[in-house]
C-alpha cells in the first residue's frame, strides 16, 4: 500500500473517569487467590499494568464515539460535509445490528451521502478502517473520512472475575488463559484523514503493509458464555504463545514495511505500537531492532484498550510532545488472528499548530482545539 494524496489530519481521544487498579481487581479475586495459593501483585508484576479505566455501567459505545469523533472534526477545522466515510472499528458495539456507525453518523449530523459501516478486526479494527478510508481518498472517491471506536471493558472484566471465583474446577493453567482479560481497559479514539489539498498539517500517510498469519487464530478467542446465572463476555488467551507468535509475525512484516515506505530502520524517528503489556513491548522493539526511547507507551495507566490502544497512545504522544516536525513515524499494529498492520506517517504538525484556512469549497473555518 502506497499513498500520495492522504494526510492524517487529526487524532482525538476520550477517557473514562473511573480508574480501577490492578490491586483492586486482585482484591476482588481473593477467593481464587486463596484457593489456588496465588501470590498477590502478580497482575501488575507480569504485565506492567497498574491501572485501567471503566465507562459507567450501561453506556453505549456510540455515545462516546460521537464525542470523540466530534473532537477530531473540530480539531481539524473540517466542514463535516466533506466527510465521505465514517467507519466504527472497535470490538465493542451497541447491537449486532444496525451498525454502530449508524448511530454515530446520525448524531454527528454527517451527509446522507457518507458511507457508513462497522469494521471488526479485533485490536486492528481502527487501523483497518484507516486503510479503507485512505484507499477511498487515494482513489478520489471521497475528500475525507473518519475512523472511530470505543472499547468498553467493564463487562469482560466483571464476567472474568465472576467465573474465576465461582468455578472451583479451574486450575492454575486455566487461570493463565483468563489472565489477559484482566488487563483490558476502556477508552475511545478517532482518526480523521483528508485528501492532501485539504490538509492544514501536511502529515502524509505514506503507506504500509499487512500480514495475516491465521494459523494462530485460536490463540485468543472471545465469545458470550454462561457466567453464573447470566450470559457474559469471556475471552481465553494463550498469552505466552500469542506473544511469541505475534512478535514473530511482526518481525516477518517489518522488512516489507520498510521497503514499502522507503525507510531504513535507523530512519524511524518515533514509534507507536499496540499496548498489550510490558513484556510484549520489550520483545517487539528488540525483535525489530528499535530503540525503546523512540517509542511511547500508555499501558501502565490505561491497560490494553483493544482497537483504540494504538490510536490513543499516538494521540497522547502528540499531546505530550513526543512528535516533532519531520519525524518519520511507524504505527505498529498487531492483533489476534494473528494480523499485523504497519503504517508510516511523515509527521509535520498537529491541527492546533496549523494556521492557514482550508481550501474546501464547503469549509467554514473553526478554531482548532487540542486533541484531548
Residues with catalytic roles: 97, 123
The number of CA neighbours under 13 Å toward the Cβ of 175 is 22
Beta strands 295-296; 270-273: pairing state: parallel
Task: Tell me the torsion sign for CA atoms 122, 232, 152, 83.
Answer: positive
Note the Cα 154 to chain centre separation in Å.
Answer: 17
Helix (H) or strand (E) segment spanning residue 251 = helix 239-261
Beta bridge partners of 118: 88
Rounded Cα–Cα distance for residues 316 and 257 (Å) = 24
Contact 321, 303 (CB under 8 A): no
Q: Which residue is listed with cell 456507525?
A: 101
User: Which of 323, 68, 79, 333 has its CA nearest to residue 202?
Assistant: 323
Contact 271, 334 (CB under 8 A): no
Cell of 189: 479514539
Helix (H) or strand (E) segment spanning residue 259 = helix 239-261
Angle in degrees, 0-180, between the axes of helices 309-319 and 125-138, rounded to the nearest 10: 80
Task: Give me the DSSP letters along 302-356.
Answer: H-B-GGGHHHHHHHHHHHTT---TT-EEEEEEEETTTEEEEEEEE----GGG--S
Neighbours of 83 (CB within 10 A): 27
Query: In whole angstroms, how far apart are CA 309 and each of 52, 63, 146, 184, 333?
Result: 12, 19, 17, 10, 9
Q: Which residue is listed with cell 458511507?
A: 115
Amino acid at each position: 500500500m502506497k499513498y500520495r494524496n492522504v494526510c492524517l489530519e487529526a487524532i482525538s481521544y476520550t477517557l473514562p473517569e473511573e480508574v480501577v487498579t490492578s490491586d483492586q481487581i486482585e482484591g476482588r479475586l481473593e477467593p481464587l487467590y486463596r484457593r489456588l495459593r496465588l501470590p498477590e501483585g502478580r497482575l501488575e508484576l507480569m504485565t506492567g499494568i497498574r491501572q485501567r479505566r471503566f465507562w459507567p455501567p450501561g453506556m453505549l459505545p456510540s455515545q462516546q464515539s460521537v464525542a470523540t469523533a466530534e473532537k477530531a472534526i473540530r480539531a481539524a477545522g473540517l466542514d463535516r460535509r466533506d466527510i465521505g466515510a465514517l467507519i466504527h472499528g472497535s470490538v465493542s458495539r451497541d447491537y449486532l445490528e444496525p451498525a454502530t456507525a449508524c448511530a454515530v453518523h446520525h448524531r454527528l449530523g454527517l451527509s446522507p451521502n457518507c458511507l457508513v459501516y462497522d469494521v471488526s478486526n479485533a485490536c486492528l479494527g481502527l487501523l483497518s478502517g484507516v486503510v479503507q478510508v485512505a484507499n477511498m481518498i487515494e482513489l478520489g472517491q471521497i475528500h475525507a473520512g473518519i475512523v472511530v471506536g470505543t472499547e468498553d471493558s467493564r463487562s469482560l472484566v466483571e464476567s472474568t472475575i465472576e467465573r474465576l471465583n465461582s468455578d472451583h474446577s479451574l486450575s492454575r493453567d486455566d487461570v493463565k488463559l483468563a489472565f489477559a482479560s484482566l488487563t483490558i481497559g476502556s477508552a475511545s479514539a478517532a482518526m480523521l484523514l483528508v485528501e492532501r489539498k485539504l490538509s492544514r498539517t501536511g502529515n502524509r500517510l505514506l503507506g504500509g503493509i499487512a500480514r495475516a498469519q491465521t494459523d494462530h487464530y485460536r490463540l485468543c478467542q472471545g465469545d458470550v458464555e454462561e457466567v453464573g446465572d447470566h450470559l457474559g463476555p469471556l475471552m481465553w488467551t494463550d498469552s505466552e504463545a500469542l506473544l511469541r507468535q505475534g512478535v514473530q509475525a511482526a518481525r516477518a512484516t517489518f522488512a516489507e514495511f520498510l521497503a514499502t515506505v522507503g525507510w531504513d530502520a535507523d530512519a524511524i524517528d518515533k514509534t507507536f505500537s499496540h499496548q498489550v503489556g510490558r513484556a510484549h513491548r520489550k520483545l517487539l522493539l528488540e525483535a525489530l531492532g528499535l530503540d525503546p526511547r523512540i517509542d511511547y507507551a500508555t499501558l501502565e495507566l490505561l491497560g490494553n484498550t483493544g482497537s483504540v490502544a494504538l490510536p490513543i497512545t499516538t494521540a497522547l504522544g502528540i499531546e505530550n510532545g513526543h512528535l516533532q516536525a519531520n519525524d518519520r513515524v511507524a504505527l505498529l499494529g498487531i492483533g489476534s488472528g494473528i494480523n499485523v498492520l504497519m503504517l508510516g506517517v511523515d509527521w509535520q504538525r498537529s491541527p492546533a499548530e496549523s494556521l492557514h484556512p482550508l481550501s474546501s469549497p464547503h469549509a467554514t473555518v473553526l478554531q482548532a482545539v487540542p486533541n484531548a
